[in-house]
Structure 1
Amino acid sequence: MPTLHAARLLRRTLDDPPGPGGAVLVAGSRIEAVAPLDELLAAYPGARLRRWAGTLGPALVHDGPLPDAPTPRERVYALFRSGAAAVPAVHLTDPGLRAAAVRGDVAVLDRVRPPALDVGGRADLAVFADDGTCLATVVAGRLVHRRA
């Protein structure tokens, strides 16, 4: 079932100023559309709707060693709590950590690329509060972190 992710503000890239009324349609692991929420609701009436407080945009690329934690799985989850869904391969040299990242659908990048909400691209999204706190992270279409 497709899911519409909508927030008070939306930005397509990290450099774009956020604008009101936008939404992202996710089907499986891919972005199907980025458009005004009203248009997407009309075009996809059966889609599940998730409304988020804050600003919705692309998930971050974590360009550094993964956060410290007791286990590889917890290190990957710490990445998700920060709003990141991708990491350069150079930071995943430990086999156990790399395996945990792959199991979590982290995008392992050969080179850093600027994150963007591109139609047809991976559905890696993040929602941030005004203070910069990550409220939710979606990785390859799956909600992997939601702040309580």
Structure 2
Amino acid sequence: MLTLHTAPLLRRTPGGEPVPEHAVLVGGDRIQAVGPLAELVEAYAGVRVRRWPGTLGPGLLHDGPLPAAPTPRERVHALLRNGVTAVLVEHLAEPALRAAADRGDLLALSAAVPPTLLVGGRADLAVHGVDGACLVTVVAGRIAHRRA
């Protein structure tokens, strides 16, 4: 099923120029299109549209040790609550932590790669509010965190 994720502002990279009224079309675990919301709604009639407050952009890369928490699962969830969808593999040395990251579909990268929204790329997205708090994290096309 195709889903359009949209917010008042969209950034293709974390520090990129925000553009209004744009959206990301997700099919399965891939980005199918990125562009003006009105054009995508017209081109994909009947598509499910998820409207989020804040700024939509790529999921973030975490390049340090994972936050402390009682269990590996909670350490991974702490990342998801911040919009993180990828982590450097060097910080997943513990087998239980690596397993939790794999279950959460976090990308384990051997080198830092700047996150960006690319057609054909994995659908890793995050929405941040005006206060900087993460409202939604989408990992490989599925909602992995939604702020209550």
Identity %: 65
Question: Deviation of residue 46 (structure 1)?
Answer: 2.2
Say if 2:29 is the partner of 1:29. Answer: yes
Question: Deviation of residue 68 (structure 1)?
Answer: 1.1
Question: Deviation of residue 136 (structure 1)?
Answer: 0.4
TM-score normalised by structure 2 residue count:
0.98
Say if 2:56 is the partner of 1:47. Answer: no
Query: Which residue matches 1:90?
Result: 90
- Give unmatched runs, 5+ long, in structure 2: none
- SS of 2:143's equivalent in the other structure is strand
* Residue pairs, 1:70-85, within 5 angstroms: 70-85=70-85
Instruction: Give the root-mean-square deviation of aligned CA atoms.
Output: 0.6
Which portions of structure 1, spanning 4 or more consecutive aligned residues, are displaced by more than 2 angstroms? none
Deviations 1:38-89 (A, max 9, x none): 0110111121110000000001001111111111111111100011000000
- Give unmatched runs, 5+ long, in structure 1: none
Question: Deviation of residue 6 (structure 1)?
Answer: 0.4
Rounded to whole Å, the distance in 1 between the matches of 2:2 and 2:107 is: 21
Rounded to whole Å, the distance in 1 between the matches of 2:43 and 2:66 is: 40
Question: Deviation of residue 123 (structure 1)?
Answer: 0.3
Rounded to whole Å, the distance in 1 between the matches of 2:21 and 2:48 is: 17
TM-score normalised by structure 1 residue count:
0.98
Query: Which residue matches 2:101?
Result: 101
Query: Which residue matches 1:58?
Result: 58
Rounded to whole Å, the distance in 1 between the matches of 2:12 and 2:106 is: 20
Question: Deviation of residue 19 (structure 1)?
Answer: 1.0
Rounded to whole Å, the distance in 1 between the matches of 2:44 and 2:59 is: 24
Letter in 2 for 1:59: G
Query: Which residue matches 2:140?
Result: 140
